[in-house]
Amino acid sequence: MYHHFLGQTRSFSKFLNISSSVKEALANGEGVVALESTVITHGLPYPHNLSTARSLEQKVRSSGSHPATIALFDGKIHVGLDDEKLEILASSKNAVKVSTRDIAKTIIKKEVGGTTVASTMKIAHAAGISVFATGGIGGVHRGADQTFDISADLQELSKTPVCVVCSGVKSILDIPKTVEYLETHSVNCVVYGSENVFPSFFTRKSNNKAQFSTERLEEVVELIKTSKSLGLPYGTILACPIPEKNAADGDLIQNAIDQAISEAIEQNIASQNVTPFILARVNQLTKGASMATNIALLENNASIAGRLAAKMCDRRPITVSHTQPTSSSHRNPKVSSRVLSRQITNAYQFQ
């Protein structure tokens, strides 16, 4: 695992431009949170995208960590943007959406590129950043049994050990199939809260569950560190329901999503254009309500990610607890790799 990380870092190094503030934070062992940039280039209109980008960075700072917004400019991958670059990114009319497969193409064409969840994870890992905040991950699209439209975000989560702090899967997607896909590919999936109900992006609840829920970020840190100690190469989702005061009217949003999906099919919108089209149309149909909700959950996730990254920097060793499990409830069940990580975490504690 370590050698794979070194190899990936070396292969990326000639293209990486890490800002001095991010470099210094990483060198000092301080918390760093990666932020994606597709939300700036394709997710929100100008100038809301610029003000939101600035707000997300500030939320990370005020939570005790350093922001590292990731984007592509002039044939380089930039990790950590100054305000001038944020302005260029937000106002660009020609920015392209960059998933993992598009990184090389965007570099050779020297395009302005906004990174998706998948490419941000890949780049963050190469830069040595283990926590990443976003709004919602991509997933299995509705009708994927016919179109095979499954987001590259899921593939990246199955092979890149970065914790993605999000509000679940974008509700325009097939949430049950996405959750099933994550389980199949051994991705740790935790709900941050008292109730184990997977959030539905704009609203706090779906009809799906995660592995477990927790109100303690320390437990999430233990899970991530234990997974790393086991050499498990999978990512972790920390699913954070939007704060109740910001949650959208579920029926209003769902009706808008259904209409937007129908229009996308009628207009033959496909591939990378589907999600931006539907989100923009939903915002129109809800008269801006969905955008306000989107910004609120982005800010909440950035704050939580900042706190998580700061706690990740606690260098105290994990040692085996002397507490023994009761014998009656343990009969050597078969466990998957992600469940194994969870069970070992329960036997560990920070000293």
Q: What is the three-class DSSP state of 287?
A: coil
C-alpha distances out from residue 200 to 186, 292, 303, Å:
21, 16, 19
Sign of CA dihedral 110, 270, 133, 103: negative
- Told to judge if 87 belongs to the known catalytic residues of this protein, a careful annotator would answer no
Q: Locate 158 and state its tokens.
A: 């199955």
CA distance 113 to 209: 34
Burial letters for 101-133: b for 16+ Cβ neighbours within 10 Å, e otherwise?
ebbeebbeeebbbbbbbbbbbbbbbbbebbbbb
Task: Residue 271: name the closest of 168, 120, 152 by CA.
Answer: 152
Catalytic position from the list 36, 156, 222, 299:
36
215 in catalytic set: no
d(CA 99, CA 45): 20
Out of 97, 170, 177, 311, which one is annotated catalytic? 170
Which residues have a catalytic role annotated? 36, 170
